Amino acid sequence: MTPYPNLISESLLINDTIDLLRSFGGSATAVNIVDAVMKISQPEPKMARLLVSDLVERDPRLHLNDDVVELLDDRFSSRAISETEFVVFDLETTGAKSPPLSRVTEIGAYKVKGGEIVGEFVTLVDPGMPIPVFITALTGITDEMVKVAPKFSEVIPEFLDFIGDAVLVAHNAHFDMQYLNHEIGLVYEDYRLLNPCLCTVHLCRKLLPHVDNHKLKTIADYYSVSLVNHHRAGPDARATAEIFVNLLTQLEVGGIHDIAAIKNLGSRKGVYVG
C-alpha cells in the first residue's frame, strides 16, 4: 500500500511496468505485464492479476481494471493555473554537498492559490549530524537550535499532508528536490514525491531575461519583495512565494493558462522538474 497518495515507488518492477504501459499506449493486460516485466512466461491469468495487484497498490499512477493495468493520465498538466494549488518551499541543509553527505536542517513552505498565499509550514529539523561553522555563519542555524527540533521522520507526515497534490515550486528546484526525495526515501524506502516542481530560477530566466542575474535577492529587489533573514528557509520560501505570484501574473498575461503550457515553456531549460 502506498504510504501517502503523493508518493510513488522507485521499484524497478514498477518503473519497468510504467515504461511498458507507455509503449503500449497506456494499458496492458496483467498477463502481458507479468510475462514482459517479471519474466514469467505464459502465466495463468488469475495469478498474473494477483502479482500485478501488488504493484498497483504501491503506486498511484497505476490502476487495475479487471485484468487490465492502466497508466493514469498526468494529473497535473491539464490543470488551469487559476485552479492549481502550489506549495513554494525552501530547505536549509548542513552543506552544499549532495545527500547523504549533507542533511536538512530547516523546511519553509507557503501554499499559494488564486494568486494569494493561503498557508504556511515552517520548522527546524534535527539533521542528526553537526552543522559546519560556515553554514551556521551563513544561516544562523546552530547545533543548539536543531538539538531540540524534530527529526525529518517526525516532520514528513505533516509536510506530506500540507503538500497534498499541489505543484511544488522552489528557487533552484533541482537542489531542493534531491534533498527532499532523499530524506523521504530514508523514511519510506524506495519512495519519492509524485508532485512535479517548478523552478523559479529558470522561470525568471525565461520571463526576466533583462535582469542582471536571477539570484533570489536580485529577483526579490526587482519585484520589491521584502527578504529579511536571507538563508533561512521560512523567509526565503515566503519571498519566493511572493515572487512566484508575480511570475504567475506575467504567465497569464503572456497567454499561459495551464501547467502544461508552463511545462512546454521550460522544456529546454528545466522549468518543470517532473
Between 183 and 269, where is the model more confident? Answer: 183
Could you give the residue numbers annotated as active site?
Answer: 231
- What cell does 141 get? 542555524
Question: 203, 271 in Cβ contact below 8 A?
Answer: yes
Q: Which residues, in sequence order, are bridge partners of residue 119?
A: 111
| pTM greater than the 0.85 cutoff | yes
Residues 150-166: b if buried by 16+ CB within 10 A, e if exposed? ebbeebbeebbebbeeb
pLDDT tens-digit profile of 121-161? 999 999 999 999 999 999 999 999 999 999 999 999 999 99
Q: Output the pLDDT for position 73.
A: 83
Q: Is 117 a residue whose pLDDT tops 60?
A: yes
Average pLDDT over residues 159-185: 96
* The three-state (H, E, C) secondary structure of 139-201, written as one string: HCCCHHHHHCCCEHHHHHHHHHHHHCCCEEEECCHHHHHHHHHHHHHHHCCCEEECCCEEEHH
pLDDT band, residue 274 (cuts 50/70/90): low
Q: Is 272 a residue whose pLDDT tops 80?
A: no
Q: Output the pLDDT for position 269.
A: 52
Going by the DSSP 8-state scheme, the letter that residue 138 receives in this structure is H
Q: Which residues contact 215 (CB under 8 A, 6 or more apart)?
A: none
Q: Output the pLDDT for position 12.
A: 94
pLDDT band, residue 171 (cuts 50/70/90): very high
CA angle 42, 46, 49 (to 5 degrees): 90
Q: Which residues contact 155 (CB under 8 A, 6 or more apart)?
A: 107, 123, 125
Side by side, the strands of the sheet bearing 116-124 are: 116-124, 104-113, 86-93, 167-170, 197-199, 272-273
pLDDT band, residue 97 (cuts 50/70/90): confident
Dihedral angle of Cα 213, 219, 221, 222, to the nearest 10 degrees:
90
